[in-house]
Amino acid sequence: MNNLGNIYASVDIKKDYNKAKQLYKTAIELGSLYASANLADMYLKGKGVKKDFNKALELCDKQISIVDDSHDIQQTKNHIETIFTHTTLLKPDDNTKSICERLILSTKLKHNEKRSVVHYYSQLMGSNLVNDMIKLIQLQRDLKKITDENEQLKTHIAASPDGELYFAAQEHWNSCTH
């Protein structure tokens, strides 16, 4: 479905953006990750549809929430950067705010990829809240690091025949989580 949408959107036959849009929507319903990025692209550029950065942002948010591999979301990351560098075309409603919050807290976006989202969000919400969000991002990173260290210790303990390592690991875990 996604590839058929691409044909109607880009090949040298008579372009039919309505057909492409319908095929992308069907492909999204069937679980195509690329179709949501392609449909977002149509909304960003106004190809066959009215330019709608909010709709494009919703599609990007949906894709990021279900994709694990960062390769698969590179186009979506590019779309997000485009959206947040043209914020005058973005309506600051509650849905946009909640999407911004999810993107800022997402582990699938690197810190530098979140910069334009944080900047836009700070304009909407005020700088104090953004500082809190940045602290939250740092805490999220710290928690991931601690969780990863804990998993390494569990693996080491499982391979160890004596129980002393268990108590050392338990003390480490308790000191990190309390």
The CATH code of the domain that includes 79 is: 1.25.40
Question: Between residues 131 and 90, which one has the greater pLDDT?
Answer: 90
Question: Domains in the chain: how many in total?
Answer: 1
Quick check: is 159 in a domain? Answer: no
Report pLDDT for 50. 92
Quick check: is 34 in a domain? Answer: yes
Provide mean pLDDT across the span 138-144.
Answer: 83
- The span from the CA of 148 to the CA of 22, in Å, is 43
Report pLDDT for 12. 63
Amino acid at 34: Y
| Residue 21, domain extent | 2-92
Residue 163, pLDDT above cutoff 60? no
- The span from the CA of 148 to the CA of 154, in Å, is 10
Report pLDDT for 68. 61
Q: Which of 37-41, 66-70, 125-129 has the highest mean pLDDT?
A: 37-41
Report pLDDT for 138. 78
In 3D space, the residue among 112, 110, 53, 38 whose CA is nearest the CA of residue 84 turns out to be 53
Quick check: is 98 in a domain? Answer: no
- The span from the CA of 101 to the CA of 118, in Å, is 9
Provide mean pLDDT across the span 48-70.
Answer: 82
Quick check: is 86 in a domain? Answer: yes
Quick check: is 146 in a domain? Answer: no
